[in-house]
Amino acid sequence: MVARHDLTTDPRLQEDLLQARRGTAFFARKLNELTDEELDGGTRLPGWTRRHIVAHVGYNARAIARLIEWAATGIETPMYSSPEARNQEIDFGATLSPTALRNLFDHSAVHLSVEWRDLPDADWSNEVRTAQGRTVPASETAWMRTREVWMHAVDLDNGATFNDIPAPVLERLLKDITSAWRTRGSDTGLLIKVTGTDLTFGDTSATDPTVVAGPLPAVVEWAAGRGSTGVTAAGPAAPASEVPVAPKWI
């Protein structure tokens, strides 16, 4: 009989999987609050309707499930055959009927959860490759999914905000984003401070940095390119205290 609980016994991984499933449930709640007609509405992502976001999140679950199958079997199964194929898939998904689109999200989420559930401890360290070409252990897929569902629940633009995202997820998002900036060298002279905490990111070696500061949800919202409400800026790149546009993340 197939196990009805996760086979992994790693407490950290169990917590990561729980966070991903909670994010999936949150996205599902925001999706269910939308009428079929509202799926045609705009989002916080330029050029994408809510249909595009739902299709993307659904197909993303399928793509991550392919990575888990790769980890389980050792047979290479990429997330997508190409970036073009990924984009075409999303565009196609956005044309589905409301019922089919909702079923895509529901069924793909269940499929991914089952793939995670049935992967034994020994296989979680097996390496797979992300759509960006990074080689990571299969355990990284829990975070990959967590990031997608929490962020895109906000992008649906029907009431969710960055304040709804758990603080541990926000902190990890900020680390991801600022690490990407550092890799590209686009954080030069830019220092990010989370008010009320000791969290500081960006170019900590700058002698005269532009400092962007604010509460954690607001700082992550700005860093992710979703707006600058609630953050302040001071320094060379912020004349008249205007908040600069965040460097490109993805």
User: What is the model's pLDDT at position 113?
Assistant: 97
User: What is the model's pLDDT at position 235?
Assistant: 81
User: What is the model's pLDDT at position 1?
Assistant: 35
Helix 11-32 to helix 140-155 angle (10° resolution) is 20
CB 174 within 8 A of CB 199: yes
d(CA 213, CA 250): 22
Tokens of 136: 């990571």
The SS3 assignment for 85 reads helix
User: What is the model's pLDDT at position 240?
Assistant: 62
Q: Where are the domains of the chain?
A: 11-160, 167-241
Give me the average pLDDT of each 10-residue run along the chain (250 residues): 77 97 98 98 96 98 98 96 92 98 98 97 97 94 98 98 97 95 89 92 87 96 94 79 85
The SS3 assignment for 192 reads strand
Count CB neighbours of 46 within 10 A. Answer: 6
> At 73, which amino acid appears?
T
The architecture (CATH level 2) of 167-241 comes to 2-Layer Sandwich (3.30)
The SS3 assignment for 113 reads helix
Dihedral sign for Cα 75, 79, 83, 85, please.
positive
The architecture (CATH level 2) of 11-160 comes to Up-down Bundle (1.20)
Tokens of 234: 């001071």
